[in-house]
């Protein structure tokens, strides 16, 4: 199997050529080793960091997964993200959902969010 892909690990965006013969993965076109690791993951188990927003008391709160999640699970995870409601004040780095993908990846806030002013 031969596949061409763009490495998304950095803005350089190298075009990678990946060949998979049996269990062996060979990568060319990568400027640095991260490209090779990315390509290997792409042809076995692609992963992405998921970013989104959740509803908080004072408005939308930006969030991300603490590490890359399985690509095939992204829409499943999004359902949980969309159903979630944050309560009270939230600080950047706060864990909002401890295990969002069933594999221990957390959903964390990427900004401070204030509690809705009551007046």
Partner 1 sequence: MRKQLVVIGGGPAGLAAAVAAYDAGVRDLVVLERESEAGGILKQCVHNGFGLTRFRESMTGPEYARRFLDEARARRIGILTNTFVTRLTPEKRVSYVNEKGAFCCEADAVILAMGCRERSKGALNIAGTRPAGLFSAGTAQKYVNIYGHLPGKRVVILGSGDIGLIMARRMTLEGAKVECVCEIMPYSGGLGRNIAQCLDDFGIPLLLEHTIVSVEGRERVEAVVIARVDEKRQPIAGTERRVECDTVLFSVGLIPENELTKGAGIALDGQTKGCLVDDGRETEIEGVFACGNVLHVHDLVDFVSEEAEIAGRSAAEYLLHGARAKRYLPVLAGENVSYIVPQRLDADGQTPVQLYFRVKSALRGAVISVEAGDFRKSVKRIAVAPGEMERVTVVPSQLSGAAALRVSVFREE
Judged by the rule CB under 8 A, the positions of this chain that interact with partner 1 are 5-11, 13-15, 48-53, 55, 59-60, 62-64, 71, 74-75, 78, 82, 92, 110-111
* 68 lies in the binding site for ligand SF4 (CB under 6 A): no
Question: For residue 60, what are the contacts with CB-CB under 8 A and spacing of at least 6?
Answer: 53, 54
Instruction: Give the integer Cα–Cα distance in Å for 14 and 29.
Output: 7
Q: Binds 105, which of partner 1, ligand SF4, none (CB < 5 to 8 A, cut-off by type)?
A: none
In 3D space, the residue among 111, 57, 106, 60 whose CA is nearest the CA of residue 82 turns out to be 60
Among 3, 26, 28, 32, binds ligand SF4 (CB under 6 A): 32
Cα–Cα dist 98/87, whole Å: 15
Residue 19 and residue 35 in contact, taking contact as beta carbons nearer than 8 Å: no
Q: Is 31 in the site for ligand SF4 (CB under 6 A)?
A: yes
Residue 95 interacts with which of partner 1, ligand SF4, none, CB < 5 to 8 Å by class:
none
Is residue 49 within the footprint of ligand SF4 (CB under 6 A)?
Answer: no
């Amino acid at each position: 199997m031969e596949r061409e892909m763009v490495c998304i690990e950095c803005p350089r965006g190298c075009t990678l050529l990946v060949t998979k013969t049996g269990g062996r993965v060979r990568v060319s076109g990568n400027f640095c080793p991260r490209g090779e690791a990315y390509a290997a993951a792409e042809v076995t188990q692609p992963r992405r960091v998921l970013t989104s927003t959740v509803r908080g008391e004072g408005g939308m709160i930006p969030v991300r997964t603490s590490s890359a999640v399985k690509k095939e699970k992204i829409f499943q995870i999004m359902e949980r993200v969309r159903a979630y409601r944050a309560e009270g004040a939230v600080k950047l780095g706060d864990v909002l959902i401890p295990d969002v993908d069933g594999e221990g990846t957390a959903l964390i806030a990427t900004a401070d969010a204030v509690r809705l002013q009551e007046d």
